[in-house]
Amino acid sequence: AQSVTQLGSHVSVSEGALVLLRCNYSSSVPPYLFWYVQYPNQGLQLLLKYTTGATLVKGINGFEAEFKKSETSFHLTKPSAHMSDAAEYFCAVSARTGANSKLTFGKGITLSVRP
């Protein structure tokens, strides 16, 4: 069985500061990895995904994430936070083996951006 751990429930940064949201996974085979963002009263929007190839993945809104197999991690970063980045962020995985697109989500992290 696979699982996702997002440590902490809330991260607060100043506008212009580095954003780092952590995600670790547990799976016998490295899974496919996703980051989604959810703004208040909206659905989830895909930020980026890692399936194969280059381990540093660039997404929308200036976010990127790096898959590190040795650390079983897929941390999300952005060099300079903007007020509009305030939202809930979910890391998710799906099994690489088998034809099943079911996502397993982490608990989510709320990002606050201070002026």
Residues that bind another protein (CB under 8 A): 9, 31-32, 34, 36, 41-46, 49, 51-52, 90, 94-96, 98-103, 105-108, 110
**Closer CB to another protein, residue 52 or residue 70?**
52
**Closer CB to another protein, residue 42 or residue 80?**
42
| E strand map for 1-115 | 3-5, 10-14, 19-21, 24-26, 32-38, 44-50, 56-58, 64-68, 73-78, 87-94, 104-105, 109-114
Shortest gap between Cβ of 37 and another protein (angstroms)? 11
**Closer CB to another protein, residue 15 or residue 24?**
24
**98: CB partners within 8 A, 6+ apart:** none
Shortest gap between Cβ of 80 and another protein (angstroms)? 25
Based on its alpha-carbon atoms, the radius of gyration of the chain, rounded to whole angstroms, reads 14
